[in-house]
Amino acid sequence: MKSETNTVLAFFENKDEAARAYGTFHKAGMGQDYLIDACALYTKDGCRLKQVDSFRGAGLPVHHALFGWMIGLAIGLPGGWKGAMTGALIGMAAGVVLDDHALRASEKCLKTLAESLPAGHAGIVLVADETSTSGINAILEQYSMRAVRSPFSDISLFHHKKVNLKQVSGRS
């Protein structure tokens, strides 16, 4: 099955319940139909947004350094062992820059979504690769909250338009 990278923002009026839900996602990490790339717990008091905790899952694309090392090594081979090592180091450095960019983009996405929290609420923001929405929805439905879901590619438009947002029902 083809997976899609989605974002979910769950709004909680009860901060303790938000913390329990966050703990469930932290322990789960992945299920049959989802893999959490990044997840964060935020609170918003007045207009002050605070990140309480966060974790990165196994799905983040942090493999560019290894790939860059291998490509650099292959390109440098005609230059002997010195060329191979120089190519590998340059390739790895380029890969590290790309990995850092991917991680920062994911963290920026989480904060962008969290800014939508109403004052006095807590929220869980997550980015996940999903083949089906049922696994994450099953966890969310255990808690009293409201949630919105959007494809990751639509996040840059999140503040300007509500694009393809789907309401996820929580326990009331």
Q: Computed from CA positions of residues 37, 135, 28, 118, in that sequence, does the dihedral angle turn out positive or negative?
A: positive
Q: Residue 62: its pLDDT value, please? A: 53
Question: What whole-number distance in Å separates Cα of residue 30 and Cα of residue 59?
Answer: 9
How many CA atoms within 13 Å lie on the side-chain side of 131? Answer: 6
What digits encode the pLDDT tens for the residues 32-51?
Answer: 888 888 888 999 988 888 88
| Listed ranges 87-91, 108-112, 160-164; the one with the highest mean pLDDT | 87-91
Return the residue matching tokens 């969310």. 140
Comparing CA positions, the residue from 158, 145, 67, 64 lying closest to residue 108 is: 158
Q: Which domains does the chain have, with CATH numbers?
A: 4-60+113-168 (3.30.70)
Which one has a higher pLDDT value, 154 or 49?
Answer: 49
Q: Residue 6: its pLDDT value, please? A: 82
